[in-house]
Amino acid sequence: MAQLFSRLVAGVACFSFWALTHGQNLDQLQGSFKSDLEQALDALSALQQSIAEEKVPLSKRLNDLEQIVISKRQELSRLERSADNQQTELNTLKSQIKGLREEQNYVNGLMDEFTQIFETRIHIAELETYQPVIRSAQNAMHDPDLSPSELADSQVALLDVSLDRLEQLLGGHRFEGSALTPQGVLESGQIVLVGPFAAFSSQSSDTAGLAQLQLGSPEPTVVDLGEESADLIRQLAVSGQAEFPVDPTLGNALKVSETQDTFFEHLKKGGPVMVPIIGLGLAALLIALLKWVQLSSIKLASAADLQLILSQIKAGHVAKAVEHAGSMRGYVGDILKSAVENRHEKKEYLEEIMYEKMLSAKPALERFIPLIALTAATAPLLGLLGTVTGMINAFNMITAFGTGDPRMLSGGISEALITTKFGLIVAVPALICHAFVTRKVKGVLGTMEQISVGFINGVPDQETMKSLDK
């Protein structure tokens, strides 16, 4: 409406300008303008009437549309709240799915560990029976193409088998199997499994005994327990009822007995270094015994013997003094006899004579004793040499075959340490023997020195001796 009025005013203005331009008079222009104005007012009135007629339905339509907008807004708000709730539920479900996946991974890890433990805990005689289901479970754990349900089925199958095995072991289980005889022959027979113990009875021979794992063998090996136990195992394999030989150490006693070597086998494991070690030990022992016998056979003069000789000299019975000194075997008797024979000499000269006798006796008394000390010092070094050589051989074996079997490494180290063991076994007694023998020699030399000093102090001087001889 405002646009129409503007157009009308513009038309009147244009018309007035045109009338003025063409020289029309004012009355004509006014009449024309009035006529146009009336027409415009009529048009305006008609337009207002039309607007008034259309306003009511438009207002009603507007109200309807506003209601629709309000309804749509309410629906939008409801949908937004529903979307928020669904997003919350979705996040909750995602968290639950994440937790379930973590639980599934944890269960899969437990089942993988159980599979490995089950394979190592079953008896070697059962390995052939349960090998397929164990391999199936292990392969399923590392197969990315399997669905979770298929993986669970393989795991449940292993659990079912393990439960069935436990039920069978409660009362003992018998089944067909094979084992290596003590002669190394693989034979088929009946295996009886009772708890952790397994016995084997051959169908083709009289072999019967405990079936155990042996290093380096993929099959169980029969351990012979004697004829009496073999008869019981055969009876148990046939009838299922018999006294079963039980090893409470679970085979450890047999393993320990296998490691027990004889003395000569122990020496042989030490290698070539054992020869000089044992040789030095025997030589040191023999020398110690001979020296002890030699020193023990020496008769030591007591204070009473010395006083008797001195009293006989003072009494003029020189022959009896020489005889009594000669009756004492060994170096002490020789010193006393020499002292009696040289009684007329000055005490300084007599002391030199007796000291010379002591010096001549000392090398004989100490002969071969340094060899005992040499043995005590050399035996540990030879043992260490054998240990180093053995360790080098052990590491050479590791270089060639790897460290897959720790028993091989421990066995090589134990054999290498044998030489050190025997080196100490030889060195410690040799050191003790050297101490005892040396102490014995020092005792003999100390007695000789004491006798010499006592004789020199007790023998009469030259003048007195000359008068006694007359």
Rounded percentage of the chain residues whose pLDDT exceeds 90: 5
How big is the CA angle at 399 (ends 267 and 405), to the nearest 5 degrees? 70
Cα–Cα distance for residue pair 284/375, rounded to 1 Å = 7
**Token digits for 275?**
């020869």
CA distance 153 to 159: 10
Q: Domain end: 228, 258, 288, which one?
A: 258
CA dist 310 and 313 (Å) reads 5
Question: What proportion of the chain, given as a percentage, has pLDDT over 70?
Answer: 73
Which residue is associated with the tokens 């007790």?
458
Q: Is the pLDDT of residue 420 over 80?
A: yes
The confidence score (pLDDT) of residue 410 equals 61
**Cβ-based burial of 44 (10 A; exposed 0-12, middle 13-18, buried ≥19):** middle
Between β-strands 186-194 and 197-202, what pairing exists: parallel, antiparallel or unpaired? Answer: antiparallel
The span from the CA of 63 to the CA of 47, in Å, is 24
Secondary structure letter of residue 190 according to DSSP: E
Domain-located, residue 116: no
Q: Same domain for 40 and 157?
A: no
Give dist(CA 32, CA 9) in Å, integer: 14
Do 70 and 150 lie in one domain? The reply is no
Q: How far apart are CA 156 and CA 163, in angstroms?
A: 10
Number of domains into which the chain is organized = 3
Can you tell me the distance from the alpha carbon of 125 to that of 225, in angstroms, rounded to the nearest whole number?
A: 18
Residue 399 maps to a domain: yes
Domain housing 53: 2-97
Average pLDDT over residues 323-341: 70
- Whether 151 is in a domain gets the answer yes
Most confident of the ranges 13-17, 92-96, 127-131, 272-276 = 92-96
What span, in angstroms and rounded, lies between the C-alpha atoms of 111 and 203?
A: 38
Report the distance separating Cα 259 and Cα 267, nearest Å: 14
Does 319 lie in the same domain as 414? Answer: yes
Same domain as 435, residue 293: yes
Q: What would the DSSP string read from start to end of 193-246?
A: EETTEEEEEESSSS-EEEEE--TT-SS-EEE---HHHHHHHHHHHHHS-SPPP-
Confidence (pLDDT) at 409: 61
Whether 355 and 281 map to the same domain: the answer is: yes
Residue 324 placed within a domain: yes
Residue 411 is predicted with a pLDDT of 57
Considering the domain architecture, whether residues 250 and 287 belong to the same structural domain is answered as: no
How do residues 186-215 score in pLDDT, each as one tens digit? Answer: 788 877 777 677 777 888 787 877 777 765
**Identity (one letter) of the amino acid at 9?**
V
Mean of the per-residue pLDDT values of the chain: 76
What is the enclosing helix (H) or strand (E) of 177? strand 173-180
* 214 and 286 assigned to the same domain: no
User: Is residue 13 scored above 70 in pLDDT?
Assistant: no
d(CA 298, CA 296): 5
**Rounded to a whole number, what is the largest CA-CA distance in the chain?**
215
Cβ–Cβ < 8 Å for 371, 284: yes
- Decide which of 203, 228, 258 is a domain's last residue: 258
The Cα 247–Cα 197 span in angstroms is 8
Rg of the Cα atoms in the chain: 61
The predicted pLDDT at position 157 comes to 85
Q: Is the pLDDT at 83 greater than 70, yes or no?
A: yes
For the cut 70, the answer to whether the pLDDT of residue 404 exceeds it is no
Looking at 232, 258, 284, the residue that finishes a domain is: 258
What does the block give as tokens for 210?
Answer: 């405990």
Q: Which of 99-113, 327-341, 397-411 has the highest mean pLDDT?
A: 99-113
Most trustworthy range by pLDDT among 79-93, 110-124, 413-427 = 79-93
- As a whole number of angstroms, the distance between CA 394 and CA 408 comes to 8
* Residues paired with residue 194 on neighbouring β-strands, in sequence order: 197
In the predicted model, is pLDDT for residue 254 greater than 70? no
Per-residue pLDDT, averaged over 439-464, amounts to 73
DSSP-derived secondary structure for 251-272: THHHHHHHH---HHHHHHHH-T
| Per-residue pLDDT band at 427 (split at 50, 70, 90) | very high
Provide CB contacts within 8 A for 131, sequence distance 6+.
none
Contact between 299 and 330 under an 8 Å Cβ cutoff? The reply is yes
321 and 240 in a single domain? The answer is: no
Tell me the average pLDDT across 333-343: 70
Q: Band the pLDDT of 58: cuts 50, 70, 90.
A: confident
- Is the domain of 315 the same as that of 234? no
Domain membership flag for residue 14 = yes
Q: What element of type H or E holds 192? A: strand 186-194
Q: What are phi and psi of 221, to 5 degrees?
A: -115, 135
Q: Cα(333)–Cα(301) distance, rounded to whole angstroms?
A: 8
Mapped onto helix, strand or coil, the DSSP state of residue 180 is strand
Model confidence over 300-309: pLDDT tens digits?
766 676 677 7
> For 218-252, what is each residue's pLDDT tens digit?
677 777 777 777 777 777 777 777 776 666 665 56
Is 147 a residue whose pLDDT tops 60? Answer: yes
pLDDT above 80 for 137: yes
pLDDT at 428: 92
**Does 133 lie in the same domain as 93?**
no
pLDDT of 469 strictly over 60:
no
Per-residue pLDDT band at 93 (split at 50, 70, 90): very high
Whether residue 37 lies inside any domain: the answer is: yes
The answer to which of 48-57, 162-171, 321-330, 439-448 has the lowest mean pLDDT is 321-330
**Residues 432, 292 share a domain:** yes
Range with the lowest mean pLDDT among 56-70, 87-101, 445-459?
445-459
Mean pLDDT, residues 278-290: 90
d(CA 265, CA 418): 11
**Cα torsion 327, 328, 329, 334: sign:** negative
- Does residue 153 share a domain with residue 43? no
- Is residue 264 situated within a structural domain? no
Give the SS3 label for residue 402.
coil
What pLDDT was estimated at residue 61? 86
Task: Answer whether residue 93 is part of any domain.
Answer: yes
- Run of H or E including 282: helix 274-297
Grade residue 345 by pLDDT with cuts at 50, 70 and 90: low
Mean pLDDT of 129-156: 81
Say yes or no to pLDDT of 263 above 80: no
